[in-house]
Each structure stands twice: as C-alpha cells, then as structure tokens.
Amino acid sequence: MAMTLTFAEALWGGAAIIAVLVGVYLFRTRSQPRVVGSLLLWVEHHRPAEGGQWLQRPQMPLLLALEILIVLLVALAAASPRGIAPGQGLPLVVVLDDSYSMRAGGADSPREQAIRAIEQEVAAQAGYQVRLLLAGQRPEFLGETCRAVAQLRQLWPLWTCCSPQGDLDLAIALARETRDHRTRLLVVTDRAPADPPTDGRVQWWAFGRPRANLAFINGGRTMFGVKDRGFFEVANLSSQPVRVEGTIDNGRERRFMLEIAATETRREVFDLELPSASVRIRLPGDDLPNDDELILLPPPQRPVRTAVLLEPGPLRELTERALAATGLASLATAAAPAVASGLATTAAGLSTAADLVVRAAAEAPPSPGQWVWEFLPASGTEAFLGPFALDRANPLVEGLALDGVVWASPATGSVPGIPVILLANTPLVTEERLAQGARRFRMRYDPIRSTLHQTPNWPILFWNLVRWRQSFLPGPAHPNLRLGMEVRLQVPAGRGAVQVTAPDGQTISLPAVGEAVVFQPAAPGLYAVRCGGESFAFAVNCLARQESDLRQSASGRWGDWTRSEAFRQESLDLGWAFLLPAALLLGVHLFLISVGGGGGRRP
C-alpha cells in the first residue's frame, strides 16, 4: 500500500523537536575536563594482558533513542498518513505544455526534466492510470491510458513542444470537464502558475529556468516597388545589450551585424538580390534554437488567365483596359472575326484554358473551377441614378461608391443568381455558384447610356473580380506563416487530396474539403505540397515573442493532491499504525525510567 502524508509539515515539527531533544541531551551530557592524579582508581575495566586496539562501540543512550523514535512516530501520525489500497486505480491527467519554450536548454530542457519527473512519479506510486493531454493552441489527448512507464515512453515522441502557445487553462478546463472528480491533474510547464492551485486536485510542476534569448519575432518580404525587399525584427530578450552577427542567405550568403539594447527590438530591412529565391536569415545558436532561423519564401507569381470573348465595341475595350490595369491577369482575347463569325473552335479553346472568362450572355456552362462574367443584352434600357443597394459581404463590391453614377439597365425582368448590386428591386449584378467551383456572374449594363465606366468604380469592380479569382487559384494563400497559423491550400477542382512533406521529411496525405485543404503545421520549417502535377511550398516560422521570452521561466511545485476531499474519501487513515507503536514505546520508556536502566554510560 502506497502511503501519502497529508500534512507533511508535521514532519518538520517532529524534526525540530528531535533537534531540541538531541540538543538538550548533548548539553546535558557534555563532558567537563578534570585533571586527576591518576586514573588508577577511576577506571574499572581491565585491560587485556596482550596489547591491542580498544574497541569502542558507538553508544546511543537507550532513553534518547526511545524518545527520538516516539517523537518520530508521533510526527508521522500527526502528518496524517493515508494510504490507497493496492489495486485501486489513481486516475491522473498530465497536462503537457506543448509550447516551444519547453525545449529551451537542449538535454536539460524543461521537457526532458518533466519527462524524468513524471516517470519517477509513476514508478513510485503504483496504480496510476495516466492520460496525457497536450496543451498547445488547442488541447489534445495523446494515446490511450498508460499504467506503466514503458507505455508513457511510447507517447513522449508525440510531445513535440512546437506550439507557439500553450493554453494550459483551456487544457485544464477540458480535463476537468471530461474526467470525473477523482481524477488528479498534473500540469507540467516552465512557468509558475499565476494563481497556485489550492483545490487539492491540481499539481503544478514547473521546470523552467530564466535564460537570455535572442529571437526573431517578425519577418516578411514584398515584391512591390522598385526592388523586392525583406525585413525582419529581432528581440533581445535579456537584461544585457548584445552585439550579434547573423547571416542572410538569398542565393548568396552575406553577414549582418546588430547591436540591440536590453529588452529592445531591432528591425532590419534588406534588399533581395534574387527576388524569386527564398531567404534564410539565421542568428547564432542559443538555448532555444526554434526562433533563431527565419525563412521567407517569395509570393507566388500566379496571374489569372483571363479570356475576353466579347464582340468588338466599347464594352470590350472598357473591359480589357480594366483587366489589364489590375496587373493580376494575363489576357487572352479572341480575335474579332472569330467572335463575330462565331468561330466556336477558337473561342472554346480560349475559354477552356482560362480561369476567368468575360463574355456575352450564353447558355454554355463554365468549365469546372472556371469563373464566367457575362454581360446581358442591353436592349430597352433606362438610365437611373439610383437607388443602388450593394451586398457589402460580397468581395466584388469592396470599395465601390455608386453615388452619382448613371446606370442604364432594363427597368424590369429577373436575372438568375444572388443579387450583388440592385437598382431598387432590379438586380444589376448577380452571382451564381455552380458545381465544382465554377461561378457565373451576370451584369446588366448599357455602356452607351451609363457612366459607371467613367468613374473609378469600373476598374475597382474588375480588380475585385480578378483578385477574388486569384485567391482561388491552387496553392497556399500565403507562402510565409507564423507557427500556429492554419494553412489553407486551395486545390484544383476534382482533386481529392494533397501530399504535404514536413520539414522532418515525413509526407502525409490530406483530404480536400470542398476546394481547399486546411491544416495546422506542427513544426517550423519549409513545407512542400504536391497536388496533382503542381508543386507549392510554404514556410512556417516561430515568431512568438511571448514564447521566446524565457526571462519569466521558473521552477517549482505547487498544489497538493492530498488536500482534496476525493483523496480523503478514497484513502485510508494510517495514523493509528504509528500511534500504537509510539504508545508501546512510551510504556517502555516509562518503565526504564522507573527502574533507572536507561541512562548512558556509567563509570
């Protein structure tokens, strides 16, 4: 039966009493030097005739030994020892801080110390039924219930400590809700608790140590302007100023030097020599290597392939100019004779390969994943100054201001799709979502009698269209991510899954939900994505200042399971097992005093 002391403080009291007891004994038994003429008459023992060494056994007065033993037993009884019967399980949820600060220090990191401490606890106390609960951005149970250290060791590799944040409160709340009241909670982290646990159900073990750290906390690159440029921010998370030399590798490695005052942040902007290449920026290694490297990939160069299949005229010209002005579209325009003569082969070829098709109204449905913008016939139109109603939730109308715009459109009649822009109750622009990612937009517009194309609203409308379409092109929406962010990978229509290769070389297949795959990278580094015949890449960086700041790391243990009511109910009071021997020894002590046989040495 394993025994637990509910009030271990009583042992300190016992130790103090024993110390006083021994002190009094030593004080009473200290020897006074006294010179005598001869020991002849004082010493009664007889030396052996032969020479030899006197053997002096260490002597502990019997009464003192009994008194110490009695005090010890009473102190143990006062500590309220309680035991749990063999075979009775002890449910335990271990909340593991999964933030990457737990890896600071290498082999002596809080994670390694915590593993050793947990294994010692499980090995010392039989009956534990351990569930591991990862506390990252979202809590997550690991594996099954473990009853032995060997089972725990199979799960430790899953505790990667790569999260930019360990939401311990959320994990504790989950553990409280999903487990019964008997379950003990053990939180292992590298920080002290804001409020030490007092309910007797939670223990908080911290294994951190304040350390100085130099970390990237921000970074990015841009392809706009005269030259492609990048920037990064380095924080000196220590109390001393530092002078550090790092490297920037953009096809060719070069060095940079930074001087950063204590607790300050330094931003550095640099030019990219090879805009199409990735950039790796490195700081000298320290206790926490996760935040010492920054990878910046170039933004994807993905123009929207656009086919304009309009008959020559003002509308076609206006449309082509607006599309060209976006800079995001690669235009493919069908020759005027082909459109006019209805050479379907040429138009169909352009239409099939395009991501966006601008055409007159037609019955032909868009190809899978294709967006079509159709201008409806403008016969019988009337010019209106409004009132216009816009669906502001639709990305198409972002930035549009139709006040003062004259819009010529048929006054009546219905248009298929969801209205995006309305003239009173008459739809002017509608959106229709079709199968396999295809969309069809319809617009009723007479360029002869309207002024929309004479206002900034016209290029804005087509910028919004092309930009929106571009966001649905295959691949990651953003090439550079912070650890902890979700990656949204747009997949081509009809593709069921993508293969993602993590920085450690492992490749996993992720199923697409709709037209996208969304997942959260577990570790920093460079990820490769293969989807059909296309390949993409994105980078994940540790850029969490709070996690990189190790100055507040602490160690210690808080909380006591034995104070919980549940523990009192499920355990047995073992105090009598100490009080009985104490009473027996007390009787022996009194007997020895009465007969005077318990003293120390006598001459």
Binding site for other proteins (CB under 8 A): 28-44, 599-603
* Residue pair 349/335 in contact by the 8 Å Cβ criterion: no
Pick 27 or 224: Cβ nearer other proteins: 27
Pick 243 or 601: Cβ nearer other proteins: 601
Pick 30 or 243: Cβ nearer other proteins: 30
Whole-number minimum distance, CB 595 to other proteins, in Å?
Answer: 15
Whole-number minimum distance, CB 601 to other proteins, in Å?
Answer: 5
Angle (CA) 492-464-405 rounded to 5° is 150
CA–CA distance from 587 to each of 362, 584, 597 (Å)?
110, 5, 14
Pick 28 or 255: Cβ nearer other proteins: 28
The token pair at 506 is 């492992």
The answer for residues whose C-beta is within 8 angstroms of residue 438's C-beta and 6 or more apart is: 365, 366, 367, 368, 369, 370, 371, 372, 493
* Burial profile 397-416: b = 16 or more Cβ within 10 angstroms, e = fewer: beebebeebbbbbbeeeebe
Whole-number minimum distance, CB 40 to other proteins, in Å?
Answer: 6
Question: Before 387, cis peptide (omega within 30)?
Answer: yes
Whole-number minimum distance, CB 46 to other proteins, in Å?
Answer: 12
Q: Which residue has the tokens 């590799």?
A: 157
Whole-number minimum distance, CB 16 to other proteins, in Å?
Answer: 25
Pick 44 or 504: Cβ nearer other proteins: 44
Tell me how far the alpha carbon of residue 589 is from its chain's centroid: 63
Residue 380, helix vs strand vs coil: coil
From the number of C-beta atoms within 10 Å of its C-beta (0-12, 13-18, 19+), residue 218 rates as middle
Q: 3-state SS string over 480-522?
A: EEECCCCEEEECCCCCCEEEEECCCCCEEEEECECCEEEECCC
* Residue pair 554/496 in contact by the 8 Å Cβ criterion: no
Pick 456 or 599: Cβ nearer other proteins: 599
Pick 44 or 50: Cβ nearer other proteins: 44
Neighbours of 523 (CB within 10 A): 18
Instruction: Report the residue count for the chain.
Output: 603
Whole-number minimum distance, CB 86 to other proteins, in Å?
Answer: 50
Whole-number minimum distance, CB 68 to other proteins, in Å?
Answer: 19
Whole-number minimum distance, CB 34 to other proteins, in Å?
Answer: 5
CA–CA distance from 487 to each of 208, 304, 454, 519, 539 (Å)?
31, 21, 40, 6, 10
Pick 57 or 243: Cβ nearer other proteins: 57
Pick 50 or 363: Cβ nearer other proteins: 50
Of 42, 527, 45, nearest to 278 by C-alpha is 527
Pick 42 or 224: Cβ nearer other proteins: 42
Pick 220 or 600: Cβ nearer other proteins: 600
CA distance 206 to 589: 46
Which runs of consecutive H residues, i.e. helices, occur in 159-295?
168-178
Whole-number minimum distance, CB 32 to other proteins, in Å?
Answer: 5
Whole-number minimum distance, CB 30 to other proteins, in Å?
Answer: 6
Whole-number minimum distance, CB 31 to other proteins, in Å?
Answer: 4
